């Protein structure tokens, strides 16, 4: 009788746990990063939201939980940030009403307005692609003692958002930064 009672309690605990996950609509993620010496590429993934292959060897540095950004650095001290998030996880789109290129335009306004209005920086839209649902833009200006110059590529695919950015890369010309962001975006799955 005690064995049956324990089984019932365990079953109810499992049901309550699964119901709680369904109510909260949480999604577990699996994150990984690996350098492939043979292909000289670094693979980074956040399952089930996306993955990307980055040319060269990149080391993970810090993670910013509020924006879900994983930061990387290569041997030339180039700083790269990557985030993979579902489209309805952003405060301006909690109801999920914006998707596709409409989401991308709204993201650009929301994100760049933050930097312009609260940080006193400037923004520049560089390229938009409504067919492939991405935008490339730049946030720049002087902030205290730092010269800010960050290039972003934000893309949407089936409700999954990829956000790639390169910060203060003095060794690369603007077209190299843009081409790099486009290249890694094309490897996104």
Average pLDDT over residues 27-31: 86
Number of domains in the chain: 1
pLDDT tens, position by position, 143-177: 887 889 999 999 999 999 999 999 867 888 999 99
pLDDT at 44: 96
Looking at residue 67, the DSSP 8-state letter turns out to be T
Could you tell me the CATH number of the domain that includes residue 138? 3.40.1000
By residue range, what is the domain housing residue 105? 2-186
Which residues, in sequence order, are CB contacts of 42 under 8 Å at separation 6+? 33, 34, 35, 36, 53, 54, 56, 57, 58, 72
pLDDT at 25: 57
pLDDT averaged over the chain?
86
Count, residues in the chain:
189
Asked if pLDDT for residue 22 goes beyond 80, the answer is no
Check: CB of residue 86 under 8 Å from CB of residue 161.
Answer: yes
pLDDT at 144: 81
């Amino acid at each position: 009788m005690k064995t049956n009672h324990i089984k019932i309690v365990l079953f109810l605990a499992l049901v309550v746990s699964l119901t709680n996950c369904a109510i909260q609509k949480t999604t577990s993620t699996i994150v990984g990063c690996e350098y492939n010496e043979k292909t000289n590429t670094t693979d980074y993934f956040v399952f089930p939201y996306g993955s990307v292959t980055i040319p060269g060897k990149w080391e993970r540095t810090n993670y910013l939980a509020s924006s879900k950004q994983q930061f990387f650095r290569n041997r030339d001290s180039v700083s790269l940030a990557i985030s993979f998030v579902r489209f309805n996880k952003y405060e301006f789109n909690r109801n999920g009403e914006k998707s596709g290129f409409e989401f991308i335009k709204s993201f650009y306004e929301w994100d760049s307005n933050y930097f312009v209005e609260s940080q006193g920086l400037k923004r520049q839209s560089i390229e938009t692609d409504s067919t492939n649902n991405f935008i490339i833009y730049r946030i720049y200006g002087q902030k205290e003692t730092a010269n800010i110059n960050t290039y972003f590529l934000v893309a949407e695919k089936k409700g999954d958002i990829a956000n790639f950015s390169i910060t203060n890369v003095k060794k690369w010309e603007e077209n190299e930064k843009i081409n790099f962001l486009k290249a890694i975006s094309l490897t996104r799955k």
